[in-house]
């Protein structure tokens, strides 16, 4: 049986860490060998568990281990050689060394290597269930999108560059001081590519991986959660539940809170309807902090009841290819997107889909590669791209 991954994401401060820890504790109590991982550079998992948690898996309870990924250590281990070369190259081009060191770390790198560790743990067969406490919305989208973007670069551009550099390096070293990437640099790039292989299929397989969106019953938070759902769907990541955290319980009702009850009720009703058919859970606002394993266990019980939190709660494939008559159509679910925010165009054997500032290069399957795009439309929260016959070669 393959390991199950659940990633919790949402706006900063909505309670992802507490919910991640509570989910992990409930799963462990149900007999699943569980690991809870914090990939946020501003870790708070140890604070929530009220236990010491290190950069390697630490036992917290029977069947439960926890880890706070040391992003700096992971970055140095995987990107150090490449980082050193990029820094030297930019310094040669006149960039201040301090600035060069910073921009030589590409956006999403820290998050990427946290995922590399998660992938390794998932392949170890040491765990049945891995819960990942992600960084806030923007960092999560970057973390999940980076492997696909880099895989495209490494598989298509990198081999060409390596061949060219090997050809010109002997001459270039005699006529310029410009740093030329060595075989060590290319070897480091190759290792990163190999470590990323299979990450996309793992995270995009609804049987193995799910993302759960955490929100508070507040309009601004719900709006950001809707955008997150759109972007996750764009990149093909399955979402299987929404959890509304810090919902005022009936025992808190008073003249002072009456207006808040009314506001929350309206937001919750809207969110339930908007995110349907996703399962929608509610986590009450407790009368104390959710700190320590006992409180977190109670938190998990209140959220999930008799539901096993390691189960697949909803199955949906954000990206599908269907045969329609003699031709094919590609469907991309884009919940909460608006038609005028979507751009679609073909580029070789790729389909480029952009929503706001999030762009995905979809490498078309062999069935569609070489076919002309006949039309594109957006209805019922789904982008439909129809393909015509094969173009003559």
Tens digits of per-residue pLDDT, 274-332? 999 999 999 999 988 889 999 999 999 999 999 999 999 998 888 888 888 888 899 99
Residue 22 sits at the vertex; the CA angle it makes with 198 and 291, to the nearest 5 degrees, is 130
Residues 365 and 220 in one domain: no
Which pLDDT does position 276 carry in this prediction? Answer: 92
Q: Name the residue among 85, 170, 71 with its Cα closest to residue 116.
A: 71
Nearest partner of 19 among 33, 2, 6, judged by Cα: 6
Are 96 and 113 found together in one domain? Answer: yes
> Could you tell me the residue range of the domain that residue 291 belongs to?
1-316
Q: Is the pLDDT of residue 140 over 80?
A: no
For residues 324 and 298, state if they share a domain: no
Number of domains in the chain: 2
Q: State which of 261, 294, 316 marks the end of a domain.
A: 316
More confident residue, 207 or 188: 207
Angle at 173 between CA 171 and CA 176, to 5 degrees: 105
The total of other beta-carbon atoms located within 10 Å of residue 63's CB is 20
pLDDT, tens only, 149-175: 666 656 654 554 445 445 444 544 545
**What are the φ/ψ torsions at residue 363 (nearest 5 degrees)?**
-75, 120
Backbone dihedral angles phi then psi of residue 137, each to the nearest 5 degrees = -40, -60
d(CA 228, CA 392): 40
User: 383 and 287, same structural domain?
Assistant: no
Longest dimension (CA), the chain: 82
Report the CATH number at residue 305: 3.40.50.300
Give pLDDT, residue 172: 45
> Edge-to-edge, what's the strand order for the sheet holding 280-284?
58-61, 64-68, 34-38, 129-133, 4-9, 209-215, 239-247, 280-284
Do 311 and 323 reside in the same domain of the chain? no
Token pair 């598989």 in the structure block, residue: 155
Q: What is the mean pLDDT of residues 225-252?
A: 92
The predicted model gives 68-92 an average pLDDT of: 77
132-136, 167-171, 178-182: lowest mean pLDDT where? Answer: 167-171
Domain identity same for 242 and 336: no
Q: What is the dihedral of CA 310, 313, 319, 321, to 10 degrees?
A: 110
pLDDT at 241 over 90: yes
Q: End of a domain among 286, 316, 346?
A: 316
186/85 same-domain check: yes
* C-alpha triplet 130, 189, 67: angle, nearest 5°: 25
| Sheet of strand 327-333, all strands in order from the earlier edge strand to the far edge | 319-324, 327-333, 382-390, 371-379
How does the average pLDDT of the chain come out, rounded?
Answer: 84
At residue 42, does pLDDT exceed 80? no
Contact status, residue 269 vs residue 241, Cβ threshold 8 Å? no
| CATH code for position 381 | 2.60.40.790
pTM of the model: 0.82
Determine which of 26-30, 132-136, 272-276, 302-306 has the lowest per-residue pLDDT on average.
Answer: 132-136
Read off the pLDDT of each residue in 77-101 and give the average, rounded to a whole number: 77
Same domain, 243 and 156: yes
State the Cα–Cα distance between residues 13 and 65, nearest whole angstrom.
24
Q: Based on the domain organization, do 340 and 306 belong to the same domain?
A: no
Three-state secondary structure call for residue 202:
helix
Are 236 and 370 found together in one domain?
no
Q: In terms of domains, do 101 and 167 share one?
A: yes
User: Chain-centre distance of CA 350, in angstroms?
Assistant: 22
Which residue reads 């793992």 in tokens?
A: 202
332 and 206 housed in the same domain: no
**365 half-sphere exposure, CB direction, 13 A CA radius:** 10
End position of a domain, from candidates 297, 316, 335: 316
Please give the C-alpha separations between residue 59 and each of 35, 54, 177, 204, in angstroms, as whole numbers: 9, 10, 52, 29
| Residue 43 CB contacts under 8 Å (≥ 6 apart), including other chains | 53, 68
């Amino acid at each position: 049986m393959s390991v199950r991954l659940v990633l919790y994401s949402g706006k900063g401060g909505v309670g992802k860490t507490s919910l991640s820890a509570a989910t992990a504790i409930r799963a462990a109590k149900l007999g699943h060998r569980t690991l809870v991982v914090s990939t946020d550079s501003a870790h708070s998992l140890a604070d929530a568990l009220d236990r010491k948690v290190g950069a390697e898996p630490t036992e917290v309870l029977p069947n439960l281990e926890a880890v706070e990924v040391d992003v700096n250590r992971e970055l140095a281990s995987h990107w150090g050689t490449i980082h050193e070369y990029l820094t030297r190259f930019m310094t040669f081009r006149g960039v201040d060394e301090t600035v060069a060191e910073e921009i030589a770390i590409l956006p999403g790198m820290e998050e990427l290597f946290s995922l590399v560790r998660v992938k390794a743990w998932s392949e170890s067969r040491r765990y049945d269930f891995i819960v990942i406490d992600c960084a806030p919305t923007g960092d999560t989208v970057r973390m999940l999108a980076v492997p696909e973007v880099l895989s495209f670069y490494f598989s298509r551009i990198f081999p060409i560059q390596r061949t060219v550099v090997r050809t010109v390096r002997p001459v270039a070293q005699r006529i310029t001081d410009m740093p030329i990437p060595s075989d060590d640099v290319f070897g480091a790039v190759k290792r990163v590519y190999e470590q990323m292989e299979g990450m996309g299929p793992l995270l995009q397989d609804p049987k193995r991986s799910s993302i759960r969106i955490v929100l508070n019953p507040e309009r601004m938070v719900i709006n950001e959660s809707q955008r997150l759902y759109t972007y996750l769907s764009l990149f093909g990541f399955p979402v299987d539940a929404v959890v509304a955290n810090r919902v005022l319980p009936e025992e808190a009702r008073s003249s002072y809170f009456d207006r808040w009850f009314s506001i929350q009720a309206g937001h919750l009703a809207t969110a339930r309807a908007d995110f349907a058919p996703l399962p929608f859970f509610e986590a009450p606002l407790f009368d104390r902090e959710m700190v320590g394993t006992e409180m977190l266990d109670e938190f998990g019980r209140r959220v999930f009841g008799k539901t096993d939190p390691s189960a697949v709660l909803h199955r949906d494939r954000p990206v599908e290819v269907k045969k329609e008559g003699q031709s094919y159509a590609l469907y991309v679910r884009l919940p909460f997107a608006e038609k005028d925010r979507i751009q679609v165009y073909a580029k070789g054997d790729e389909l480029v889909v952009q929503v706001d500032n999030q762009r995905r290069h979809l490498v078309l399957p062999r069935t569609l590669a070489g076919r002309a795009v006949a039309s594109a439309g957006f209805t019922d929260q789904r982008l439909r791209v129809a393909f015509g016959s094969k173009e003559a070669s």
